[in-house]
């Protein structure tokens, strides 16, 4: 990604902070963020590293961010208007410790709900659909870019999706989270599946029905869990959602 002068962030800043350990660690974090967003197919037209953004120097301890809507609308007087910023936040690892004495990592964001809802209505995307997102589970933290890439592909295909961001050690908790989010499908890919070039799709809605009342014949006719090639992820998810 580039800064406003057209240089890569790495080249323009590493020389400035080379004698600061905190500065070097900060740039390493930015490199990780860039890797994650690029893995989802986002470039400078969607996400930009901007070193001029500052939020609460006594509050945040890491990356900060703002979400801005760039499309224009026409107000009641016929004038073009921009929605501008609808959310902002960042990393504040030291905040919880101030009040509890416990060193707890924390990241948060505040959202301008009224402005966001107005933007959704302006784009015709305010609906009553309560179906949850497809949840991509995490089997290996070192492969987060791969999981984020899956989410990006699904979103680009118009399918709501998100990656599990909690502690991945207990896989059951990931499925409980998906259930709480009313997710129709959980996507699973461990090391073995990655080597084989496949993913597992778990139909959470059908799985719940099978657990309640489905017969053995019904289960055999339409299994609640299938293995598909990684390259067929989007098509297989869409097919499962349409059933």
The CATH number that applies at residue 200 is: 3.40.50.800
- 16 & 110 share domain: yes
Least confident range from 73-77, 116-120, 185-189, 220-224: namely 220-224
- Max CA distance (Å), the chain: 68
The CATH number that applies at residue 13 is: 3.30.930.10
The model's pLDDT over 118-151, given as tens digits with 9 standing for 90+, comes to: 888 777 766 655 678 999 999 998 899 999 999 9
- 100 & 194 share domain: no
- 117 & 161 share domain: no
Q: What is the mean pLDDT of the chain?
A: 83
- 115 & 140 share domain: no
Is the pTM higher than 0.75? no
Tell me, yes or no, whether 149 lies in a domain.
yes
Q: Which domain holds residue 192?
A: 134-242
């Amino acid at each position: 990604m580039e800064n406003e002068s057209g240089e890569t962030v790495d080249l323009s800043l590493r020389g400035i902070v080379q004698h600061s350990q905190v500065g070097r660690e900060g740039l390493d974090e930015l490199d990780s963020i860039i890797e994650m967003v690029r893995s989802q197919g986002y470039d400078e037209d969607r996400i930009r590293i901007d070193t001029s953004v500052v939020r609460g120097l006594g509050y945040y301890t890491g990356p900060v961010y703002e979400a801005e809507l760039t499309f224009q609308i026409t107000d009641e007087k016929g004038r073009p208007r921009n929605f501008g910023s609808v959310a902002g936040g960042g990393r504040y690892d030291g905040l919880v410790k101030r009040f509890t004495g416990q060193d707890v990592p924390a990241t948060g964001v505040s959202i301008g709900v009224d402005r966001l809802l107005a933007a959704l209505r302006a784009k015709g995307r305010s609906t009553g659909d309560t179906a949850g997102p497809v949840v991509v589970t995490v089997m290996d933290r070192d492969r987060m870019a791969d999981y984020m890439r899956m989410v990006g592909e699904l979103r680009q295909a118009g399918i709501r999706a998100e990656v599990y961001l909690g502690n991945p050690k207990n896989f059951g908790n990931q499925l409980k989270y998906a259930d709480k989010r009313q997710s129709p499908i959980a996507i699973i890919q461990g090391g073995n599946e990655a080597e084989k070039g496949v993913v597992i799709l778990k139909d959470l809605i059908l799985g719940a029905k099978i657990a309640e009342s489905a017969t053995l014949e019904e289960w055999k006719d339409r299994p609640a869990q299938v293995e598909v090639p990684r390259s067929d992820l989007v098509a297989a998810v869409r097919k499962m959602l349409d059933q």
